[in-house]
Amino acid sequence: MTNSTPNLNYGSILFLGSGETASAGRILHEQLFQKLSKKKINVAILETPAGFEPNSEQVASEVSDFFTEKLQNYHPDVKIIPARRRDGNFSTNSEEIISDIKSADHIYLGAGSPTYLVKHLEDTLALEALHNQHKKGSSICLTSASSIAFGKWTLPVYEIFKVGLDLYWQDGLDFFSRFNLDLSVIPHWNNNDGGKKIDTSRCYLGKERVDKLLKMLPDESVVLGLDEHTGLLLDFSHKAVSVVGKGSVHLIQGGYEKIYTNGDEFKFEDLGDFTMPEDDLSLLNNSILEEIPRNIIELAEKRLQSRKNKEWDEADRLRSKVSELGYQIEDNNDGYSVSKL
């Protein structure tokens, strides 16, 4: 019997501080779409971040217009995913509702409420589909509220700014923990909507309150402050991070701050103790794990990496080792297959 393992190639992730449909958003999306190298880009826009709003479909439609009008050279086929909350007719746990995520080359999550998004996306089929598509190479764009919600720590903007609750952090979706990163994001870093009347920087909470909030985090926590109309692109294929836009990106850890501007690049390791998952077996079904011993899968994964690095002698050695243990490897379009001799 033959068992296949997926060929994992993590897609890029784009953070936008604001202006997702302005010039910075267009430029960064062009970079993403060029990397995908496809004649037609399947785009999925999730309504979840603003699912509590009566006009969440209209909000998503405006983003859809951006893709079809500003990025028409990439022939985007846009699907709006009406996954608005955990339960009900538009559930983030409905296989039918979230089905278009599974064929998306690019997934977009935008403005709304960070804490609402965490509540209605955490431990759902929609989030599982997002994880799986990212592993397969699909890119993800996180703007405004969504960039906050996907971090280790979520800033409860409305609860503090509008309701007046005491300062606190809420657990986020922690999307980057599998890469060993304690990473959080604060968009609208240099916002000045309040003018001289009120400090609305740091996502409307103001410098004084956010300075206190930052001191409440563990020393290992890394926070990215994104200025308006500024984007940060995490390129997993090259392990590089780049800045595009009118403003700056502020990397803050343990009371220290580094500032990056348009055109600057830095390494993933600057975001923390970054590691790529050595063997992500979450896409393998239980029958594979039962029939093929883990040590064989590990050797096959190492051989796959050797082939990617063009280390052909090492790849041949690992194939022979697997053969000595009673199994054979066959390469295919999905990566490889393993079966008993």
Phi, psi dihedrals of residue 263, rounded to the nearest 5°:
90, -15
| Low-confidence stretches of the chain (pLDDT beneath 70) | 1-8, 278-291, 332-334
Cross-strand bridge partners of residue 245: 230
pLDDT of residue 289: 42
pLDDT of residue 2: 37
pLDDT of residue 333: 59
Residue-wise pLDDT tens digits, 11-48: 999 999 988 888 888 988 998 898 888 889 999 999 99
Residue-wise pLDDT tens digits, 174-214: 999 999 999 999 999 999 999 999 999 999 999 999 999 99
pLDDT of residue 122: 95
| Pair 112, 145: CB distance under 8 Å | yes
Residue corresponding to tokens 């993403």: 32
Residues 6+ apart with CB under 8 A from 278: 301
Radius of gyration over alpha carbons of the chain, in Å? 21
pLDDT of residue 7: 42
pLDDT of residue 288: 42
Distance CA 11, CA 105 (A): 9
Cα 109–chain centre separation = 10
Structural domains in the chain plus CATH codes: 2-271 (3.40.50.880), 286-340 (no CATH)
Cα 179–chain centre separation = 11
